[in-house]
Amino acid sequence: MSQTVIQDPSAAIDIKVDVELRNVFKVFNGDTAVRGIDISICQGEFFSILGPSGCGKTTTLRLIAGFEEPTGGEILIRGKSVAHVPPYLRPVNTVFQSYALFNHMTVLDNIAFGLRIKRLGKAEIQQRVSEALRLVKMESFARRFPSQLSGGQQQRVALARALVNRPAVVLLDEPLGALDLKLRKEMQVELSNLHQTLGVTFIMVTHDQEEALSLSDRIAVMHEGRIEQIGTPSDIYENPQTPFVADFIGDTNLFQGYVEASDPAALQITTDKGLKMVVQPQETWNGATSQPVVVSVRPEKIQVSLNELDNQPNCYSGRLKHVMYLGTHVHYLVELSSGDCLTVLQPNRAESLPALHTPIHVYWSATDCLALTA
């Protein structure tokens, strides 16, 4: 599949750029991990780099931090190139998934460590450590050791240690990945509040789509070392620009097909299994008739009916193959007459659920699906 790089034009307009990557490559022993990426991250932004394992997102973060040197391209922080600048001289601090705390030091000493290395005065160190502890709500734990803390508390200490140096940019490498689900949700709220309080630029690497969508001002989706799309969470979810982004961000149903006819109002698409679909083209659509496409339909956009509908575009018959009750929602798996299987997500309306193998009809409007260049 060809790779399409979509750049967010808003990044070029904002002159207050904290971090900029220009055509950056990274090669390890002949294997290209990062393939010519361009990113501009604005001052005070919460920016996430999202993608599956092995896509190059952590390598990108390490390049910004200075733990790796780019094979090609340029990295700028606050307008200045950081080529050959070691990590400890860059105005950034990194929070790791493993926390990387010193187990033989107290919470206070862990946070103060970097300031002591810089030989700051005792009074200033005390003041800045106290501020950092207050920010992460850990004042009463200053004399404890990491082994006496929960995972969430250790993560707060790691954040405080990064913030105490007052960096221009905080780098977060899967910061909540080691926490259980409930605690991760709580820490997401705290991380968001902390970012809003400080106004410092946060750059987070994660493979968790929900985490990126809930926390970020903008997201860069990476795949095989390239940037597939950069945009706001709503842009990424509602208007994915490639089949990979549509499939990776949330759940979706994908249909391979080709454009049979087109006009400014609608695309007539025939899928590989013979389904006839009507899709409203996006503003950026510039495809041609007979062009291969992938149609994406989100599960929550699909409606279900036990009765056949007349004059309804994108309406297909099938049988109910599986029903899963999720409390707030009901998840359906529908096998169409064409052989395609669709996932459908509907709000729970406290109605009795249909039995398996019940004949059923699914439908959606032309505005509730997207045609993406294959």
pLDDT for residue 287: 65
232 and 204 in one domain? yes
Q: How far is Cα 159 from Cα 103, in angstroms, rounded to an integer?
A: 16
282 and 234 in one domain? no
Using the predicted structure, report yes or no on whether residue 12 has a pLDDT greater than 60: no
258 and 192 in one domain? no
367 and 315 in one domain? yes
Using the predicted structure, report yes or no on whether residue 32 has a pLDDT greater than 80: yes
Handedness of CA 183, 184, 187, 189 (dihedral sign): negative
pLDDT for residue 102: 87
Using the predicted structure, report yes or no on whether residue 3 has a pLDDT greater than 70: no
Q: Domain boundary residue among 194, 220, 244?
A: 244
82 and 176 in one domain? yes
Using the predicted structure, report yes or no on whether residue 253 has a pLDDT greater than 80: yes
- Residues 71-82 have pLDDT tens digits of 999 999 999 999
Domain hosting residue 280, numbered range: 251-373
Question: Tell me, what CATH number does 269's domain have?
Answer: 2.40.50.100
> Confidence class of residue 116 from pLDDT cuts 50, 70 and 90?
confident
Using the predicted structure, report yes or no on whether residue 189 has a pLDDT greater than 80: yes
Q: What is the pLDDT averaged over residues 341-361?
A: 88
Using the predicted structure, report yes or no on whether residue 324 has a pLDDT greater than 80: yes
> Confidence class of residue 1 from pLDDT cuts 50, 70 and 90?
very low
291 and 341 in one domain? yes
183 and 34 in one domain? yes
287 and 226 in one domain? no
314 and 208 in one domain? no
> Confidence class of residue 351 from pLDDT cuts 50, 70 and 90?
confident
pLDDT for residue 15: 53
368 and 240 in one domain? no
- Residues 280-301 have pLDDT tens digits of 888 767 766 778 999 999 999 9
Instruction: Report yes or no on 140 lying in a domain.
Output: no
- Residues 151-166 have pLDDT tens digits of 888 888 888 888 888 8
| Phi, psi for 30 (deg, rounded to 5) | 85, -5
Share the mean pLDDT of the chain. Answer: 88
368 and 351 in one domain? yes
**Total tally of structural domains belonging to the chain:** 2
261 and 368 in one domain? yes
Q: What is the pLDDT averaged over residues 189-205?
A: 89
Instruction: Report yes or no on 200 lying in a domain.
Output: yes
Q: Domain boundary residue among 178, 212, 244?
A: 244
Using the predicted structure, report yes or no on whether residue 354 has a pLDDT greater than 90: no
Question: Tell me, what CATH number does 178's domain have?
Answer: 3.40.50.300
